[in-house]
Amino acid sequence: MLTMAMLAVPCIEAHAGSVMAGGPYAIVNNVALAGQGSISGGGYRVDGTIGESAAPSAQNAGVYRLYAGFWQGERLIPLCLLDIDGDGILDAATDGVLIARAMAGFSGSALVAGALGANATVTLPEQLLRRVNIEALDADGNGDVSVLNDGLIVMRALSGLNGTAVVHAAVGPSALRTSWTQVRDYLNTRCGGAFAP
């Protein structure tokens, strides 16, 4: 239930059906407070949106993508995420497969077949695809996301490999992150990883 304290944080009303990602945004319509005027600039904490059952607690700091709409399913998702099926476990056989399939353009039942954890909380293909921000999963940092490079790097890391075994023959041309240390730090700080040295 929304409280007055929560209502102090603006709800977002998007006027386009596309995903908003990256860059600063002006919040131009405050639905909960019946339009108190445009709000722009600064940093905001998002406590929740109407019907947002997937994010019941306050979301602090970090960088998020906001999706249009209010009813059913996630609308507020970290910019880069590795736990795609939402079971709290980073697993190559589930999350890694979902990421690789999304990078390869899979959707629908072909995306999810045999790739969900036993305790997955996100199971619908369209919800899963929203959680895979392909651009943010540019593990080698060369601006060209490829399942044969970035997907392989992420899969190796999720499989428990470390060191040169993760990046060997997997970084793309003009990569900015070519060592395990660089890739690990990116996945840990930007994508919610917890990979050890």
Domain ends where: 49, 79, 109?
79
Residue percentage of the chain with pLDDT more than 90? 58
> Does residue 113 sit in helix, strand or coil?
coil
Q: What is the pTM of this model?
A: 0.68
Full residue range of the structural domain in which residue 112 is found: 80-192
Contact 142, 175 (CB under 8 A): yes
Sites in the chain below the pLDDT cut of 50: 1-18, 29-37, 47-49, 51-58, 70-72
CA distances from 187 to 159, 170, 194 (A): 14, 16, 8
In our burial notation (b when 16+ CB lie closer than 10 A, e otherwise), range 48-69 reads bbeebebbeeebeeeebbbbee
Same domain, 109 and 172: yes
State how many domains the chain has. Answer: 2
Same domain, 5 and 85: no
Same domain, 74 and 88: no
* Sequence-separated contacts (24+) of 112-115 with Cβ below 8 Å: 115/85
- In this predicted model, what pLDDT tens digit does every residue of 83-135 receive, in sequence order? 999 999 999 999 999 999 999 999 999 999 999 999 999 999 999 998 999 99
